[in-house]
Structures are given as structure tokens and as C-alpha cells.
Amino acid sequence: MVAMTQEQEFQELVDADQRIEPRDWMPEAYRKTLIRQIAQHAHSEIIGMQPEGNWITRAPSLRRKAILMAKVQDEAGHGLYLYSAAETLGVGRDELLDLLHAGRQKYSSIFNYPTVTWADMGAIGWLVDGAAIVNQVPITRCSYGPYARAMVRICKEESFHQRQGFEILHTLSHGTPAQHEMAQDAVNRWWWPSLMMFGPPDDQSPNSAQSMAWKIKRFSNDELRQKFVDMTVPQAEVLGLTLPDPEIRWDEAAGNYAFGDIDWTEFFEVLKGNGPCNAARMEHRVRAHVEGSWVREAATSYAEKTAARVQEGAA
Ligand code: FAQ
């Protein structure tokens, strides 16, 4: 009998839907792909705090402010679980943050758009968190254990986020004509960027085939985008809002909603750094990191003193 290579054994485990854990052997390219995706995901969560943080001081009531603060804090928590998941692959959080700050790692395109009215909080919750759920629920079955497990709790919280966004939009949509218009305007602006969150079309997605063979991704970018459209069109009807795409119609033969062409030029421009808020997001992130250095120094010093005291006690 010919002995299997480590790589073949690894692929057999993946094919059998077994989880890969940090101490297991894994191909270097698998490790690198996971670090790339998990880091990008973590960065998205913390940069994603900015557009919503912008409205905490201007929320229209105490109740709305408390809910928004909780949501933004959840995003910070998601970032932390994800950086921890990345650390199990042998890369430090500080290294990943340095790569983000140097523009060598990405974060989601969606967070490069401005939040100009309160209704944007509703549209982000409903559409952006809605898209995030559709993308992330399959990652709870990702082949890499720590990433899959982090995603279970994240998805539960995203589900709450999506409902709060829906509720904001429902209230506005059924309020005064001006409030209805504000809700419609926010949906008009966030719809297409939300579809772009799923990544480039399958025939322009260099990473998909390998990531699917490794079961990091369970569905292709286009499959998830379609699921999102199918889920969202009926919800828009309940909200009493329209989606800004005259080509959306039920396609009986396909059994799903057909929709219009996405402007991929806009997507690739945003990825290159030319979106409306790329520069502002990075500037804010780097400043927050520099201004927060005293917290990291204090935490390191406290940890060193505590360790020294424990050692003294043991001596
Ligand atoms: N933005 O070959 P593919 C959230 C890049 S969390 C920027 O298809 P892949 C929660 C991609 O990295 C949102 N870049 O790549 C929240 C690659 O470039 P690279 C984040 C994008 O990895 C809500 C290149 O294009 N979620 O929203 C984007 O197989 C509200 C080619 O693409 C995740 O990260 C994009 N949209 O598939 C927080 C989920 N799309 O790295 C606050 C996990 C693609 O080779 C408030 N990630 N690129 O230089 C994934 O599922 C995948 O990484 C995809 C991309 C599907 C995003």
C-alpha cells in the first residue's frame, strides 16, 4: 500500500467534514489563506465601528442610543474573537494591525461609504448585517475549528443587529413622509454596496475555487449574493420600501429573483482606496491606535508586575 502524503491526509479530513485544529498539520497555503481571510474579517469588524460610531451622539432617543452603543461594542468583540482565531495560526494581533495600517491587508469595501442620516443606521443593520449573516452562517461550518466556532456567536449577534436595523427602517418608513423619504434614500445608497460585499463575481474571484476545496468557503460569492437578494426582496415589501433596481423580478424558471448588473468598476475602485471614505477610515484607525498606545503599555506593565509577584511568591 502506498503511504498517503500529509497533504492527502489533510484533504481527506477536510473531505470527511472533520475540523482542522491549530496543532494539526496543514498546508502552508491553507494557513496563509485563513490568515488573509480572518484578518480581513477582523479588520472589517473594527473599521465597521466607525460609520455607526458617527451616530452614537446623535441617536434620536436614549433607547436608540443604548441599542446603537451595544451594537458598536459587539463589533469590537467580533474583532477580538477573530484576531484571537488568527493568533491560533501563529500570527500576532499587533502584526495584523501593522499590516492593516500599512495598507497591506484589506477590510470590507462596505465601510468606505458615509453615514449621512440616522436612517443609515437602519440600512446598515438591515442590509449590511443582513449580508454579513448570509456570508457568515456557512463559515460556522468552515474546516478550521477556531474560525468556525468564533462565527457561531458572531452570527447570533449579527442576527440581533439585522433586526434592530429592520426595526429602525420600519419605524421611519411608517412615520412622516419626510422620515419615509429618509429611509428610502438610505436604502437607495446602501443597496448596491451591500451586494458588492459578497466579493467579485465567481469568474473574477481568484481565491474561491481553492477556498471551496478546503471548505473555508462553502458557497461561491455569486451563490451567496443570490441568497441575499432572495431573502431581502420580500423584506423590502414588508418595510414598504423599494430596492433601487428596476430589473428585480421573480424568475419563475430559475426559482429566484433576477437582478440588474452590479457596477464592478466602483467595487474595484473602492478596493484600490478610491472610495468616498477610505482615507478618513484609515486616518481615524491609525490615530486611534497611536492614541491608545498608553493602554497597551499599561496592560503590558501590569502583566509583567503580576508575573513577577507570582514568581516572588513561588520562590
Ligand atoms: N471588500 O477571490 P475573492 C461585517 C477581495 S463583516 C474588500 O472572491 P475571497 C460585520 C479579496 O480579499 C464584513 N475586499 O476573495 C459588520 C481578494 O483580495 P486579496 C466582512 C474584498 O476571500 C456589520 C479579492 O478581493 N466579512 O460586515 C471584498 O475568496 C456592520 C478577490 O476576491 C468578511 O470578511 C470586499 N467586499 O472572498 C461590522 C467575511 N470582496 O485578499 C460592522 C469573511 C473580495 O486576495 C457593522 N470573508 N475582496 O488581496 C469572506 O467570506 C471572503 O473573504 C469574501 C471574499 C467573500 C469577502
The pLDDT score that the predictor gives to residue 164 is: 96
pLDDT in tens, 107-143: 999 999 999 999 999 999 999 999 999 999 999 999 9
Residue tagged 440600512 (cell numbers): 123
Q: Residue 41 above 90 pLDDT?
A: yes
Nearest CA to ligand 1 atom 22: 37
Mean per-residue pLDDT over the chain, rounded? 97
Give the type of residue at 10. F
Q: Which of 272, 235, 262, 280 is nearest to 129 (CA)?
A: 235
State the distance from the centre of ligand 1 to the C-alpha of 30, rounded, in angstroms.
Answer: 17
Mutate to test the pocket of ligand 1, among 73, 160, 207 (most ligand atoms within 8 A of CB): 207
Q: Once rounded to an integer, what is the mean pLDDT over residues 189-207?
A: 98
State the distance from the centre of ligand 1 to the C-alpha of 109, rounded, in angstroms.
Answer: 8
The pLDDT score that the predictor gives to residue 314 is: 83
Q: In the numeric block, which cell numbers belong to residue 124?
A: 446598515
Q: Residue 242 above 70 pLDDT?
A: yes
Q: Once rounded to an integer, what is the mean pLDDT over residues 169-193?
A: 98
